[in-house]
Amino acid sequence: MPRFGSVEYEKKDNIALMTLDEESKLNALSPGIREGLVAGFKKADRDDGIAVIVVTGKGKGFCAGGDISGMSVTVESGRNFAYDILAELHLPEKIRKPVIAAVQGLALGGGLELAIACDLIIASDKAKFGTPETKVGLVPGFAILRLHQIIGRNKAKELIYGGEMITAEEAHNFGFVNRVVPHDKLMDEAMSWAKQLAERPSLPMQLCKSAINKDLGGVELAYGIDSIAQLFGSDDTKEGIKAFMEKRKPVFSGK
């Protein structure tokens, strides 16, 4: 099967199936996953034979968020990290074709953000969602820009401030998951939905996406970049990341 980085890319008739494939890291946004997502989205968008894209993950994780292992905690590294990853998360919004996230497992932090950047989300009843960044002294740089637009301010604050995991059914009730299906039916249902959308004429679908996403130009990503960069200079973020790597509870000082 063709691969881009750590992402399998399979063309099934006029549907592109992209599968994140770093099970040992729960498909966290490693350099290989990020490279694969960018290359896969661009290939599918340029291919006139592709009408719809489906993104899923292998194993227990759809995507467990940003890969911060080995990252230096400085303002410069934070800015570079945020600049790159937020542009990559913006790709599903920017490309012309509908993108369905088929979430089979954990979608945390950047994984939740990848899912909400897609046009539609179908989730296994075993999937879990969350934005745990505040627990380690960070912010979900993409979710603070998007989640409130999807589910409203108060609900977005509840999820982001609390940082707790929620079930797929709770995510559906919050309003950012479109459908919840039995775990063993997820991919059948996702591909069936994709085939239904692929039967529509492509130009109206592209125009609908363009009109609905017209305010998501990407300029606003600067707020997320600045937020992450600023935090990378704080004592609490350094402590939070250190504690996460050491698998212990962080001790924050408010600085």
- The tens digit of pLDDT for each residue in 169-215 reads 999 999 999 999 999 999 999 999 999 999 999 999 999 999 999 98
Say how far apart CA 187 and CA 196 lie, in whole Å. 14
Residue 95 in domain? yes
What letter would DSSP give residue 74?
Answer: S
* Residue 255 resides in a domain: no
Q: What pTM value is reported for the model?
A: 0.93
Residue 109 resides in a domain: yes
Q: Which of 23, 133, 164, 239 is catalytic?
A: 133
For this structure, is 169 an active site residue? no
pLDDT confidence bin for 78, thresholds 50/70/90: confident
pLDDT at 227: 84
Tally of structural domains, the chain: 1
DSSP reduced 3-state for 66? strand
Q: Is residue 198 part of a domain?
A: no
Helix (H, G, I), strand (E, B) or coil at 239: helix
Question: Is 60 a domain residue?
Answer: yes
CATH value at residue 96: 3.90.226.10
Catalytic residue among 22, 88, 113, 239: 113
Q: How far apart are CA 223 and CA 155, in angstroms?
A: 20
- CB under 8 Å to 74, separation ≥6 — which residues? 232, 233
User: Which residues constitute the domain of residue 78?
Assistant: 3-184
Q: How far apart are CA 37 and CA 49, in angstroms?
A: 19
Task: Decide if 236 is inside a domain.
Answer: no
Residue at 225 is within a domain? no
Closest CA to 44 of 83, 7, 87: 7
Does any domain span residue 176? yes
- 226's CB contacts (< 8 A; 6+ apart) are 79
pLDDT of residue 79: 85
Is 35 annotated as catalytic? no
Residue type, 226: D
